[in-house]
């Protein structure tokens, strides 16, 4: 087994584990992630002296079980990642395929939209929208979904341009198939493998951005246990109890690393390009 | 060449106007600005006063036009929170954000380019893999968490560097490193692939046939060609970094433009928010234009075409 | 016969683990003579030249019994020492004039740096010499060309620049790898004339790699015919054209109208099949699958036979038999 394969499988293992944990969260958490216990605040995790039985990763500043919150956090990250990718993937792919297939003026308009999107300061606009609309899970998903489509569009556009000139597309056109049919049946299946790789990258980015927004207090609202929010709420205690930011931080890092490794592996396996 | 630049400039202007319209629309359509500015405790009268004072009672297109005309002449409006002209607020905080961004860019380039060259020269080796692994790890690191971790390790445990504020120059080092981390993976990959292509090219074979030294072959002949796309991307990355500095400034309590924006968003100080969006977009657009220009300067094929 | 300027013996080049590109060839080039290395594409002639110059790409390994240049053992040199020789006493020009010059630097700066590197002169002196050489290779207005970038020059001009650049340090040996292949026919003739003129004037030894027997007929003093990584026949140009002995050489000559060799009205032949790819451990004659005269004995090792002192070929057939056939 080559090193690349090993890393890809490692990534798959990480993403698979997080996904299973996220799905099974209500059944595997030892405690209610929202139950506060002010007498049992800031319990230390198991590898330190004085840890409390029943709270393997300790408790937070409100006495909530850290392991349970971490597990529910995985749920939030995965839902954010998947929903944002679906939303942005739809927008970006539609724009990119249309631009790449029709070319000419249509393509110029698509390129212009992509350029405009790139010129918008991402975090600032996301924060602004969430702040004005009011922070909620759905708002974060929609905001990120409406912003993170540009790489889908770029890759869909260039790959569609390549596919458009191929024989079977030309044949379908000659056979009088409708444009919609050609796009859906001939073009899309042949660029899908590129889009899958983009999806992994965008999923990682969406999870990172949600964490950053929540860290800045304008993402997922408290008391939901988003990993970014956990770090934000714990940062006043990090000087004396560094594990409170280390645990969710490492979880975030490992998940993103896993998704990226999986993406690299998929790219090698599917023979797709990373950037168009 | 000139017409190419003119076309790029017109396109940039169009992009800027579009971005402005979008950001204006977002701040206005996502809620009643006067109500959110006045706060939950305000009476209907207070809200109406604010609406009048900020011209929010006028039709949206007129508000937009007024704002754009004002912005074009340097008047970005007044902050509701600071009771001061927004332009002055931004101007006062700009040095911190710019210094931070440039520090980050320097650190990123000084790390990414040598590592990318090293990886390309040893393509396929263990060293190459190890260096590319750094890129993968760097990409997975949430910047705010990296910042907090560095504060704990380098600032508190080892006490090497100040952990917040920029009273002295070394206050920029930690935030600069964290900011650089976001740009290093892309720059490193680009340097590596550019150098791999360049080193396999015919003109490098010619350079070797001329008996040039290894340093001259790699650093003069290959890097000069590989550097062209890197320069362009570095300019764009600086734009992203300035936009991303909002997180870093929050972590390290730096009173820059990003911090101002964060504060203003949290307190619904919409004239400031709008202006910072305008400001960051303009910088990004100018930087991409500059990247095109730099490319033209660096690439004789573009310059003399 | 005096000590040759370049002597190569038993040169082997292997790509990775599975491809033997060059299989123990011997070549010698005398001062002031043109030695042509001729063969189809893929026969290993360019690789041989690159191996002699120490310019093989990554993944290719070179070994040789003897590799000497001007009495100096090239095998004993470190890469750093070898690089002092390249561009100074031995120079090379390539097939691809369009891509062989660095697009990012002016012609002048690319030429001057050769002299700066090997003679330690200033940039100004380098540019002066460059201008003089550009004039020598027939480029008008050298001053203008020095300041131009490669993309502003035509293919023929670029190849002239490459030749001038190779001459910067007055080399004793010039290796020219298909220098005219990528050029228009008229420009080809100009470049060949230029090379011949330079050789007469400077006493340059040229190792010319080509697949074009017309070029060989015009330029060569000596010819080595390569097939599948081996030299299958080697002789003076006169002897080779008068009495080609190896079946492959015969086949090649029948394919091309060489003035004075193939008479008007003779039908042009062709050799069916392609050059086989040779893996380590290959035994016997590599041409046997395409040869009209092959039999079972061609599967065994084939020894080199001599005709007189200066004509060698690698085939089991006797010279008289082939030439009669």
Band of pLDDT at residue A275, cut at 50, 70 and 90: very low
Q: CATH 3.90.1150.10: does it fit domain C6-89+169-324?
A: no
Give the mean pLDDT of A179-192.
Answer: 84
Asked if the C-beta of B18 comes within 8 angstroms of chain A's C-beta atoms, the answer is yes
Q: Minimal Cα–Cα distance from B214 to chain C, Å?
A: 8
Would residue A57 count as lying in a domain?
A: no
pLDDT for B118: 95
Which of chain C's residues have a Cβ under 8 Å away from the Cβ of B202? 94, 96, 99-100
Contact A128 B129 (CB under 8 A): no
pLDDT digits (tens, 9 = 90+) for B129-165: 899 888 889 889 999 999 999 888 887 777 777 776 6
Picking from A3, A132, A253, the nearest residue to B142 by CB comes out as A253
Assess whether pLDDT exceeds 70 at residue B171.
yes
Question: How many angstroms separate the CA atoms of C258 and C223, rounded?
Answer: 15
Find, in chain B, the residue whose alpha carbon is nearest to that of C149. B300
Predicted local confidence at residue C261, as pLDDT: 60
In a domain, A54, yes or no: no
In whole angstroms, give the CA distance from residue A53 to residue A50.
9
**CATH number for the domain harbouring residue A131:** 1.10.3720.10
Which residues on C lie below 8 Å from B207 (Cβ)?
A: 102
pLDDT (tens digit per residue) in C119-172 = 999 999 999 999 999 998 889 999 999 999 999 999 889 999 999 999 999 999
Cis-peptide into A223, omega within 30 deg: yes
What's the confidence (pLDDT) of residue C5? 93
DSSP strand pairing (C311-314 vs C230-236):
antiparallel
Tokens of A225: 């246990």
**A125 near B CB under 8 A:** yes
Nearest to B191 by CA among B225, B141, B236, B238: B225
Residue whose C-alpha is closest to residue A153's, from A210, A205, A206, A91: A91
Cβ separation of A208 and B142 shorter than 8 Å?
yes
Cβ B277–A128 below 8 Å, yes or no?
A: yes
Residues of C in contact with B213 (CB under 8 A): 83, 117
Please count the other Cβ atoms lying within 10 Å of the Cβ belonging to residue C17: 9
Angle at B125 between CA B119 and CA B131, to 5 degrees: 40
Stronger pLDDT, B81 or C204, i.e. the higher one? C204
Higher-pLDDT residue of B164 and A149 is A149
Across the interface, whether the CB atoms of B209 and C99 are under 8 A apart is answered no
Numbered ranges of CATH 1.10.3720.10 in chain B: 93-299
Nearest-CA neighbor of A128 among B217, C117, B251, B258? B258
* C298: three-class secondary structure by DSSP: helix
The partner residue sitting opposite A123, judged by closest CB among B14, B243, B285, is B243
pLDDT given at position B173: 87
**Which CATH superfamily does the domain covering B93-299 fall into?**
MetI-like (1.10.3720.10)
> Is B208 within 8 Å of chain C by CB?
yes
Structure tokens at B163: 């952990």
> Which of 127-186 (B) contact C at CB < 8 A?
none
**Per-residue pLDDT band at B107 (split at 50, 70, 90):** very high
Q: Which chains does B contact via 3+ CB–CB distances below 8 A?
A: A, C
Rounded to whole angstroms, the Cα distance separating C63 from C17 reads: 14
Residue A242 belongs to what domain range?
Answer: 7-19+63-275
- Chain A: partners with 3+ C-beta pairs within 8 Å: B
Task: List chain C domain ranges.
Answer: 6-89+169-324
Count of domains for chain A:
1
Residue of B nearest to A132 (CA): B30
Across chain B, mean pLDDT equals 86
Q: Does B231 touch chain C (CB under 8 A)?
A: no
**pTM of the complete model beyond 0.90:** no
Answer yes or no: is pLDDT of B97 > 80.
Answer: yes
Which chain C positions have a beta carbon within 8 Å of B299's beta carbon?
A: 103-104
Counted residue by residue, chain C has a size of 325
Cβ pair B142:A204 closer than 8 A: no
Q: What is the mean pLDDT of residues A206-232?
A: 90
Contacts of C106 in chain B (CB under 8 A): 300
Centroid of chain to Cα B72: 22
């Amino acid at each position: 087994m080559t090193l690349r394969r090993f890393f890809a499988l490692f990534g798959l293992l990480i993403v698979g584990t997080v996904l299973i944990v996220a799905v099974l969260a209500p059944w595997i958490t030892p405690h209610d992630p929202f139950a506060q216990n002010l007498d049992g605040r800031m319990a230390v995790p198991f590898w330190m002296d004085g840890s409390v039985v029943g709270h393997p990763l300790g408790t937070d500043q409100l006495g909530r079980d850290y392991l349970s919150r971490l597990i529910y956090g995985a749920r939030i990250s995965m839902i954010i990642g998947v929903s944002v990718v679906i939303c942005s993937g739809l927008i970006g792919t539609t724009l990119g395929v249309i631009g790449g297939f029709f070319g000419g003026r249509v393509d110029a308009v698509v390129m212009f939209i992509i350029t405009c999107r790139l010129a918008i300061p991402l975090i600032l606009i996301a924060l602004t929208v969430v702040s004005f609309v009011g922070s909620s899970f759905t708002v974060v998903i929609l905001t990120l979904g409406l912003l993170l489509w540009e790489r889908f569009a770029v890759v869909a556009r260039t790959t569609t341009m390549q596919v458009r000139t191929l024989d079977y597309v030309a044949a379908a056109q000659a056979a009088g198939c409708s444009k919609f049919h050609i796009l859906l049946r001939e073009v899309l299946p042949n660029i899908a493998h590129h889009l899958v790789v983009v999806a992994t990258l965008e999923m990682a980015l969406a999870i990172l951005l949600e964490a950053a927004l929540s860290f800045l207090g304008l993402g997922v609202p408290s008391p939901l246990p988003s990993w970014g929010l956990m770090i934000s709420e714990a940062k006043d205690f990090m000087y004396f109890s560094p594990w409170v930011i280390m645990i969710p931080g490492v979880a975030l890092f490992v998940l993103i690393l896993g998704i990226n490794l999986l993406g690299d592996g998929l790219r090698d396996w599917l023979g797709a390009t990373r950037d168009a | 060449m000139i017409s190419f630049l003119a076309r790029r400039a017109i396109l940039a202007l169009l992009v800027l106007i579009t971005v402005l319209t979008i950001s204006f629309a977002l701040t206005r359509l996502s809620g009643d600005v006067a109500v959110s500015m006045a706060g939950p405790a305000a009476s209907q009268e207070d809200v109406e006063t604010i609406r009048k004072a900020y011209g929010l009672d006028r039709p949206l297109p007129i508000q937009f036009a007024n704002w754009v005309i004002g912005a074009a002449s340097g008047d970005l409006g007044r902050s509701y929170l600071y009771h001061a002209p927004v332009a002055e607020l931004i101007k006062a905080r700009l040095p911190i954000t710019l210094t931070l961004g440039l520090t980050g860019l320097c650190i990123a380039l000084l790390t990414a380019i040598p590592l990318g060259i090293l990886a390309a020269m040893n393509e396929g080796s263990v060293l190459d893999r190890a260096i590319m692994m750094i890129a993968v790890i760097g990409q997975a690191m949430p910047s705010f968490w990296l910042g907090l971790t560095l504060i704990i390790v380098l600032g508190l445990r080892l006490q090497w560097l100040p952990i917040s504020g920029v009273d002295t120059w070394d206050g920029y080092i930690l935030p600069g490193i964290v900011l650089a981390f976001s740009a290093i993976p892309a720059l490193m990959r680009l340097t590596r692939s550019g150098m791999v292509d360049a080193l396999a090219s015919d003109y490098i074979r010619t350079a070797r046939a001329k008996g040039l030294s290894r340093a001259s072959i790699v650093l003069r002949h290959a890097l000069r060609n590989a550097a062209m796309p890197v320069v362009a991307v570095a300019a764009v990355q600086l734009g992203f970094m300035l936009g991303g500095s909002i997180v870093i400034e929050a972590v390290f309590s730096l009173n820059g433009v990003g911090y101002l924006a964060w504060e203003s968003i949290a307190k619904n100080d919409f004239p400031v928010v709008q202006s910072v969006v305008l400001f960051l977009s303009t910088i990004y657009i100018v930087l991409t234009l500059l990247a095109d220009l730099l490319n033209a300067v660096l690439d004789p094929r573009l310059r003399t075409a | 016969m005096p000590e040759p300027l370049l002597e190569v013996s038993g040169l082997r080049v292997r790509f990775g683990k599975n491809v033997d590109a060059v299989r123990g060839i011997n070549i010698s080039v005398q001062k002031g003579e043109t030695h042509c290395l001729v063969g189809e594409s893929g026969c290993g002639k360019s690789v041989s030249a690159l191996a002699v110059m120490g310019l093989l790409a990554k993944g290719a390994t070179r070994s040789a019994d003897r590799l000497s240049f001007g009495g100096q053992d090239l095998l004993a040199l470190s890469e750093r020492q070898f690089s002092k020789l390249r561009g100074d006493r031995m120079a090379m020009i390539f097939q691809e004039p369009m891509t062989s010059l660095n697009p990012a630097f002016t012609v002048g700066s690319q030429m001057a740096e050769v002299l700066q590197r090997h003679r330690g002169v200033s940039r100004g002196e380098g540019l002066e010499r460059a201008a003089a050489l550009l004039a020598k290779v027939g480029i008008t207005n050298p001053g203008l060309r020095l300041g131009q970038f490669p993309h502003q020059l035509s293919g023929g001009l670029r190849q002239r620049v490459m030749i001038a650049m190779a001459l910067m340090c007055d080399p004793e040996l010039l290796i020219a790898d298909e220098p005219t292949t990528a050029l228009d026919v008229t420009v080809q003739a100009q470049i060949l004339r230029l090379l011949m003129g330079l050789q007469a004037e400077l006493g340059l030894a040229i190792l010319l790699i080509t697949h074009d027997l017309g070029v060989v007929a015009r330029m060569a003093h000596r010819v080595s015919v390569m097939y599948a990584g081996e030299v299958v026949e080697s002789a003076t140009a006169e002897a080779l054209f008068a009495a080609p002995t190896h079946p492959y050489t015969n086949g090649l000559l029948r394919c091309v109208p060489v003035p004075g060799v193939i008479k008007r009205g003779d039908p042009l032949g062709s050799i069916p099949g392609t050059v086989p790819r040779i893996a380590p451990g290959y035994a016997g004659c590599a041409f046997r699958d395409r040869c009209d005269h092959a039999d079972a004995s061609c599967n065994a090792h084939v020894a080199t036979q001599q005709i007189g002192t200066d004509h060698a070929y690698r085939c089991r057939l006797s010279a008289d038999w082939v030439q009669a056939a």
